[in-house]
Structure 1
C-alpha cells in the first residue's frame, strides 16, 4: 500500500474531482468510468481507511436506477430503461463530487495520520446515501400539485422517511444561536445529520442569506446538513446557487424543480 503524504493525497483528490465533468459525457461503466472508480476507491481506502465513511459511501454507489421505473415508451423499452439508468448515473457523479470535496476538506483541516478511520461505518454510509436519494429521486413524484406552504413539502418528505424505515426526530433539537432559536425539520442522531426542507418562492438572494444563517446555527450541533429545496421557479442558476452554499464542509444542497 502506498505511503501517502498529505500533499500527494490532496493533489490526487483534486485530480479525481476534476475528472468527473469528463465522465458525465461518457456512458456509465465505460472504460474511463471503471478506471476512475477503481482509482478513487483505492485512494480513499489507502488515505482514509477501508471502513471510513468516504470509502464505504462510494462503494455503495450502484451507478444505475435501483427503484421502480414507470416506462411509457413501450415501443423502445430498453432505450427508456437505459435513459433512467443514465439519469441516476449523472446524479451519482454529482454525489461523488460532493463526497470527494468533503474528503478533501477533512484532509485539509487535519494531519494525514488523523483521517484514517478503522471504525466500521458501512451501514451508516448506506443509510446516508439512501437519504440523499430520497430528495433527489423520490420527493418530486409525491407532490402532485404546487405546494403553497413549506409544511406540505415537509410532510411529504416525512412520508418518505417512514416508508423507508429511517429513524428520525422531527423539529428537534432546539438550537440557540446568536440570540435566535433554530429548529431543523428533521434530525438523525446516529448520522450526526440535520435535514432542512425549504420551499423557495421568494427572492433568491434573501433565501441564500436565510440558509447561510441556518448552516451557522446547525453546525454548532451537527456535522452533516442536507438542505432539500423545492423551487417554484425562483432559482435561476442551480450550480451557482448550490456552490454558494456547499462551500461549507459537509453541507449538501438538493434542488427539486417544480
Structure 2
C-alpha cells in the first residue's frame, strides 16, 4: 500500500499540472471502488478549476469552489498525468480531463481506492477523527507521551493508529523504531519520556527522508511524475528479516505483530 511519503510524492508530482486548471470533463469508467463514486461528482467539478491539491494522512484533497474531491490510492492505486486521448487500460477507472490538454488518471487494479467528496464547511467521516500529521508541529514528544500514558498497546501498533498520528505505516514504523532503539512489542505506557522523545524525532526524520527521496519503491507504486521512489535502497530493517543487523550484525527477527510483518533487532532494540 502506498504510505504517507508515496502519497506526498504523488501530491507534489501532480500539483503543478492540475492546480488552476479547469476541468472540462470527469470520466468514470468504473464507479464501484472501495466505496461508490458519488453520482453527482461530475456536476460538482466540471467547469470548475482545481484550486489546490493537499494531502491529509494518506488522502489527497483536490479543492474546488464548492468542496473537495477526496482521493485514496488504496492498496495498489496510482495517479498519472497523461495527454488527452491516451487510451485507457483495464484498470484505468477515472479521468479528470483538463482544459490544458492533459488529464489526471486514476489506475487501481484492486479497486480498494476511493474517489469521494466533501462540501465546504463539512468534514467527511473518513477525515473527522484523524490524529496530527507526523511532520507537523502538533506531533511533539509531549503529545506522544500523553498518548502512550497507561497504554498496554504495543508501541508499533500505537504509532500506526491513525487516531494517534496519521501516516506512520508499516514500513516507516519498522524503520523509526529501529533507529530509536525501541522494541516494537514494548507496551507504549512502559517507555520513558526520553525514549519517546527520540522516537518522535526518528519518525520525523525517516518520513522526511523518504519524501525527499521520492517514496519507497513498491511493486505497485510509481510516483505521480512517473518516476519510482528510491528510499527502499536504504531501509535498515523492513524486508530484511533473517539478515544481519546493520548496527550489531545480529540476525534480524521477523514476526507478525497486529497481523503486520515486523522486523527488529533483539540486541539493538529493547
Answer whether TM exceeds 0.5 for this pair. no
Which structure has the highest helix share of the two?
A: 1
Which structure has the highest strand share of the two?
A: 2
**TM-score where L is the length of structure 2:** 0.30
Higher RCO, 1 vs 2 (CA within 8 Å, ≥6 residues apart): 2
**TM-score where L is the length of structure 1:** 0.31
